[in-house]
A and B are shown apart, each in its own frame.
Chain A
Amino acid sequence: MDKINISSEHLESIKELCNIGVGRGASVLNTMLSCHISLSVPNVKIISSSDFKEELKLFAKENSISAVSLAFQGKISGSAQLMFPTETASSLIAVLVDEGDDLDMDALRAGTFCEVGNIVLNGVMGSISNILDLTFDYSVPEYIETNPENFVKKPSVAQDDSHVLLARTRFTIDELDIDGDIALFMQVGAIQALIETIEKKFEL
């Protein structure tokens, strides 16, 4: 497996890009919805897909995972995903649409969760492409619900040489505090290209 040479400056730059994107997403969500959502500054790290599998199991505990996936292709290709344990995703949506404590993740709620994920991921991908002058071809965002074991078997995650840029952020809605993960799945070459672009842009 190829190794990734990443400095703390690189990580800080990526964190800044994610933070701008997450902030943009939060701003759109607050404009659209009546409840106030704040998204914390993400904690960013790059890990191998095998380490990610372990993290995901801990993150989901015994739950299934609900994720919104946005695939992109260009100079850097991969997929961006916003992930929550399904129960957490469902409570988030129940609060957003004011549906009490009903936690069933049906097709309507999955669609709403997809829109919330779309807003956050568009913010993140938008800031990456805007600031780094990158253009991507995007697929239509899709909703995925599966257990952590099957989630890590997805082709975008399971490749041996793929790495995950994991940005963990916290959604705070009134009194509800929930953790959500934003993950960017890229192969080593793509992450290296991202780092090179950051180096050029920020003259690191």
Chain B
Amino acid sequence: MSQTDNIPCSNLFQHCPHGYQSLDYVPVGICIFDKNYHVLFWNKCLAQWSHVDKSDIVGKNIIEKFHTLNSPGFKERVDYVFRGGPPVLFSSQLHRNTIPCTLSDGSYMIQKTVISSIPSSKEEEFFALMAIENATELSRKVSEYRRLRNQAMEEVKLRKEAEEELRRYNKILVENQEIKMSEERLKVLLEMSGATAHELNQPLMTLLGTIELMNMTQTIPEEALKYINNIEQSAKRIADIVSKIQKIRQYQTRKYLNNISIIDFNGSSTPTQD
């Protein structure tokens, strides 16, 4: 329909039930139009928001005036309202705005719109009542909430990654510490065993040499020879232990009394498989 088809508003208003003027006092934008999309009523709130005065819009075709209403599916959905169909809802996320309204900061108002069927004074005739809510603040708050939530989620993700990394490095550190301690223990053990073996070998050689000399002596009574033999056996045992101490290459312990661990000479002097 073209602008030339506009109907004088005086003719339109004769079909309007009285009482629309009270809609001037509600804090939502209200517009009433007929099945030809001619505006019958434009409330003060909508006039203030859109900067379009009542006198400039009433009687005119709303789709021609506001091209945002010429979106796909708009008429298809709204036409049914003129036959008494269910209300039609236009969400702020899919449509942003139905009637462009500029805010004080220069941005466009985000709107939520419901178009409902209202009976005219004629039987079987319905008008469309378009109620526009300002959803700008809600949209901004939700967007801000989403931004903060995404930021918080990103921080949580980063923190989890950092904690995981920290755990990994801590494990490596503990492992390295154990290796280091083990190396230190072995070093001390090798030094100790080397020194021990060296220091014990000197008197042990003297002891074994003396026993051998005593054995060669013909005048030693039979009873004393038995004791000398025991001393020789013990000295050889000491020599065997000293030999094992000299061969220590690893740190290995075994349980001893009172839950104490002591160096296992046998295990420590046995070469490892690797």
Binding site for B on A (CB under 8 A): 28, 31-33, 70, 72, 96-97, 102, 104, 106-109, 111-112, 114-115, 118-119, 121-122, 125-126, 129-130, 135-136, 138-141
Contact = CB atoms under 8 A, between A and B. Distances in A.
Given A104-B146, A129-B85, 15 more contacts: A28-B76, A32-B72, A33-B94, A70-B86, A72-B86, A102-B150, A108-B138, A115-B90, A118-B88, A118-B89, A122-B80, A122-B88, A125-B86, A129-B84, A139-B87
B149 A104 contact: yes
Say whether chain A's binding surface is mostly helix, strand, loop, or mixed: helix
A106 B142 contact: yes
A70 B86 CA distance: 8
Given A108-B93, A108-B138, A28 B77 contact: yes
Interface string B86-101: 1111111110000000
A111 B91 contact: yes
Interface residues of B, number: 30
A126 B86 contact: yes
Contacts of B252: none
A111 B86 contact: no
A112 B94 contact: yes
Nearest to A27: B76
Interface of B: 71-73, 76-77, 80, 83-94, 112, 114, 116-117, 135, 138-139, 142, 145-146, 149-150
Contacts of A118: 86-89
Nearest to A124: B86
A126 B135 CA distance: 28
Contact of A121 (B71, B73, B86, B112): B86
